[in-house]
Amino acid sequence: MRAAVFEGVRKPLVVREMPDPTVAPDGVVVRVEANGICRTDWHLWTGDWTWVGVALPTPHVFGHEFCGVVEETGKDVKNWKAGDRVLVPFSQGDGTC
């Protein structure tokens, strides 16, 4: 997949190929059609939070606010199917929205 990638504090984002995601048994793969880069991402890009121990490993793809279409579902997913349009206003990382 092509993505705008964070490669270092205060460095320009670079558009490059990244590995396609794989679906977890309890997850989905979404083809992202729109993605917001918010102030949280900006703070990470500037290195503002390194003083409290928050730093991103690189390379990293920003954007935890996105919408798109479900491409694939894991075997344990019950409420979503391929083709569903989804909006994720804030991704918690624990499988819930």
| Active centre residues (catalytic) | 40, 43
Residues 10-22, buried b or exposed e (16+ Cβ, 10 A)? eeebeeeeeeeee
Q: Are 59 and 11 in contact (CB under 8 A)?
A: no
Q: Is 43 helix (H, G, I), strand (E, B) or coil?
A: helix
